[in-house]
Amino acid sequence: MRSLRIGLLLGFRQIQRANFWTTTLIIFVMMLTFLNLIAVSGILVGLIAGSERAVQEKSLGDIIITPLTNEEEILQTETIRRILDTIPEVTSYSIRYQQGVQIAANYKTRRDFNIEPNVIGTRAVGIDPGAENTVTGLSENVVEGEYLDPNESGYILIGALNLDRYTAGFADITGSLEDVYPGDSVRATINGASREFTVKGIVNAKAGGVASFVYLPEKELRRLSNSASRDANEIAIRLEDKNIETANTVKAVLVNQGIDSFARVRTFQEALPKFITDIKQTFNILGTFIGAVGIIVASITIFIIIFINAISRRQQIGILKGIGIDRRAIEVAYVLQSAFYALTGSLLGALVTYGILIGYFDRNPIDFPFSDGILVAEPMGTLYRFLILFVITLFAGFVPAWIIVKQNTLNSILGRK
């Protein structure tokens, strides 16, 4: 206890009397280390979190209902619809019908029949434009032209990835339509039945297959495919709260109501494409690795700082021991300095992360081809990483102090080796 008291006094005074700019520089290094630990891995994870968020908001909804494994359609779709109407947490849902479709463009101007027709195969999604827009905000993803009007017929939305000008570099692999713009006519063919549609708009989004499909009102899709069935292929559900806890609760309610006998009910997390979860795991490992390198660099930095500090005060340390100050008190003084650097640097790093960076990346996501990257820094994860940094910094401060303090007292006083 006495050693602690003396150590705190010595350490506090050393910090207080230290050169302002040196202290500022050390704290700045610690802040950068903290940012390296939190923000760099947070951005890596945020790339995938951004993708997850986009898939949840623009494609899957908070809960997604799909056909049972051996079925092509959701059984008893009308029954499910009635159940959904009774659940208060469900704010909206979109019933989707899907069919394989062939879309042909520029067929009216095709003069040379030796040239390949401008045709692609894709999936047509039949939607209620109003309901779909409420659940996924599809209209916000219209990058050219306009969104579907529920009162009109004969219009179609085309996903951007079906168009040559949006898939530069990939067109040869996936096939794409050339020179298709809002207002142009395209011909949709399902099971041999064809109908001409006017392109109302082009849809583009970095989420799931949103930009891969074509969209048309569900009645028009069922009419074109000559299907009398009212059983859908997907029901995307939007809840009051977007968090996973609410999704799990509502999923349990749906399962209790027996919906799982007709269809597969999954939360957005369960339905995420496997490649996203795989990348997330990989980026987590990568983030941890980068963080570990950051911690090692920080600990070496602190080690060097404390070592130089302690060795330049070797004679003073010898004299302190000489007049009877316990070596633990001297060690505490240096550990306190390390703790001060780690705490102050981390505090500033946390302020920058939570006060500036998270908000900045939310407003200005990093534009990656497959997602809009945000910065993810969960408070518990941040606390955990801070504790690791803190403990290692204390250790890095203690070791050089211990090395210097354990030297022979008289040799230290006289400056002998």
| Site residues for another protein per CB under 8 A | 2-3, 5-6, 9-10, 13-14, 16-17, 315-316, 319-327, 329, 409-410, 413
Specify the residue, 166 or 340, whose C-beta has the smaller distance to another protein: 340
Q: Exposed, middle or buried, 73 (CB in 10 Å: 0-12/13-18/19+)? A: buried
Specify the residue, 364 or 408, whose C-beta has the smaller distance to another protein: 408
Specify the residue, 115 or 323, whose C-beta has the smaller distance to another protein: 323
- How far is Cα of residue 390 from the mean position of the Cα atoms in its chain? 27
Specify the residue, 323 or 380, whose C-beta has the smaller distance to another protein: 323
CB of residue 316 to another protein, shortest distance in Å = 6
SS3 (DSSP) at 147: coil
Distance CA 277, CA 362 (A): 21
SS3 (DSSP) at 298: helix
SS3 (DSSP) at 238: strand
CB of residue 315 to another protein, shortest distance in Å = 8
CB of residue 12 to another protein, shortest distance in Å = 9
What is the bridge-based pairing of β-strands 118-127 and 214-217? parallel
Would you say 332 and 398 are in contact if contact means Cβ atoms under 8 Å apart?
Answer: no
- Which residue is it, tokens 């579907």? 148
Specify the residue, 395 or 402, whose C-beta has the smaller distance to another protein: 402
Distance CA 248, CA 222 (A): 32
Specify the residue, 253 or 413, whose C-beta has the smaller distance to another protein: 413
CB of residue 345 to another protein, shortest distance in Å = 21
Nearest-CA neighbor of 401 among 352, 356, 337, 325?
337
- How far is Cα of residue 169 from the mean position of the Cα atoms in its chain? 26
Specify the residue, 110 or 406, whose C-beta has the smaller distance to another protein: 406
What is the bridge-based pairing of β-strands 193-203 and 142-145? antiparallel
Distance CA 255, CA 236 (A): 16
CB of residue 335 to another protein, shortest distance in Å = 16
Specify the residue, 6 or 157, whose C-beta has the smaller distance to another protein: 6
HSE of 28 in the Cβ direction (CA atoms, 13 Å)? 6
| Cα diameter, the chain | 104
CB of residue 326 to another protein, shortest distance in Å = 6
Distance CA 58, CA 56 (A): 6
Angle at 350 between CA 377 and CA 306, to 5 degrees: 125
Specify the residue, 325 or 399, whose C-beta has the smaller distance to another protein: 325
Q: Which helix (H) or strand (E) holds 186?
A: strand 185-190
CB of residue 22 to another protein, shortest distance in Å = 14
Specify the residue, 5 or 82, whose C-beta has the smaller distance to another protein: 5
CB of residue 2 to another protein, shortest distance in Å = 6
CB of residue 377 to another protein, shortest distance in Å = 37
CB of residue 10 to another protein, shortest distance in Å = 7
Instruction: Round to the nearest angstrom and report the end-to-end CA distance of the chain.
Output: 32
Retrieve residue 45's tokens. Answer: 């994870």
